[in-house]
Amino acid sequence: MNAADLANRFRVPGVVEFSENEHGLVKAVVSRGGMTGELYLQGAQVTAWQPAGATPVIFTSSHAVFAPGKAIRGGIPVIVPWFGPHPSDPKAPQHGLARTAPWQLDKVDAGPDAVTFDLSLAIEGFAVTYRVAFGGALDLTLTMRNTRAGETSFEEALHTYFCVSDVARVAVSGLESSAHIDKTANMARIPPSGARVTLAKETDSVYLGVPGGLAINDSNAGRRIVIDKTGASSAIVWNPWPEKAAAMADLGADNQPKFICVETGNVADNRVHLAPGATHEMTTRIAVDAG
Ligand code: BG6
């Protein structure tokens, strides 16, 4: 559907507006009481959110490309049904098919606490639904239903890019007791460190068996980003550092210090197995406080 058709069905004047860029990519722009957000229908990708009185929480690259079939660099890419390279097909795209697929918008609800979008996608034997609720917190619910006749399994991640004052000056808590796979060191398995995670070089770490919520402590900015989750056992921490960022045309060395990816999901050892007709739900709630 184009922006005009979506506006006819779902527009909430002054609260939810739809627009379309020169390549035909459609986004919903949300604003209410000082809270703002943005959601692209391609990939069901949130590209902005800030609660009233706060600075932006979700980071999108200033060099991101918004074009059909191209992954948007930043925001919250929805990664299913595989994370990273496809397990057996080297020609399949990295990070699954959902992030570049056109999702269907099923419902918009401007309720008292949040402006909620319900989206859906049928993909590779899964009925995927995704609820995004923009409010004082950002609430995300991703549900996977197995539509095949037999058992299946999948990986998933909400690949969130967060705005930080300087990626080298933040500390991530909640990962102290979890082992991780270091993708920068030949997939080495690293035991739990017992400490908060700080970044001093390229980091691409897949934490497994993450027991509870996470937080990005950004004392330099005077704030903490709190990430609560359910149904998600993995967390991925990623920043490519300047040299690799410079080689990524849609990121650039200039953007590299300004974000950290702290992703919630179920990947590698934590992949999800589903009986025919069964569903799995994962939620992520993002909020900010003074730390
Ligand atoms: C992270 C992966 O989740 O995403 C990294 O662990 C990857 O290995 C990064 O480089 C970015 O991926 P992409 O496909 O968006 O460039």
Each residue's pLDDT tens digit, 33-47: 999 999 999 999 999
* Domain region containing 102: 3-289
Mean pLDDT of all residues belonging to the chain:
98
User: 16 and 9 in contact (C-beta within 8 Å)?
Assistant: no
Read off the CATH number of the domain in which 34 is found.
2.70.98.10
Q: How far apart are CA 16 and CA 29, in angstroms?
A: 6
pLDDT at 291: 83
Residues whose CB is less than 8 angstroms from the CB of residue 193 and which lie 6 or more positions away in sequence, other chains included: 176
pLDDT at 57: 98
The percent of residues in the chain predicted with pLDDT above 90, rounded, is: 99
Mean predicted confidence (pLDDT) in 247-275: 98
pLDDT at 9: 98
Structure pTM?
Answer: 0.98
Rg (CA), the chain: 18
C-alpha of 155 from chain center? 14
pLDDT in tens, 135-193: 999 999 999 999 999 999 999 999 999 999 999 999 999 999 999 999 999 999 999 99
Is the pLDDT confidence value at 52 over 90? yes
* Catalytic residue (one of 38, 155, 156, 263): 263
Q: Is the CB of 70 under 6 A from ligand 1?
A: no
Q: How far apart are CA 58 and CA 46, in angstroms?
A: 8
Q: Is the CB of 237 under 6 A from ligand 1?
A: no
How far does residue 76's CA lie from ligand 1's centre (Å)?
12
Is the pLDDT confidence value at 250 over 90? yes
Mean predicted confidence (pLDDT) in 102-123: 97
How far does residue 15's CA lie from ligand 1's centre (Å)?
33
Q: Which atom of ligand 1 is nearest to the CA of 71?
A: 15
pLDDT at 1: 87
Establish whether 159 is a catalytic residue.
yes
Q: How many domains does the chain have?
A: 1
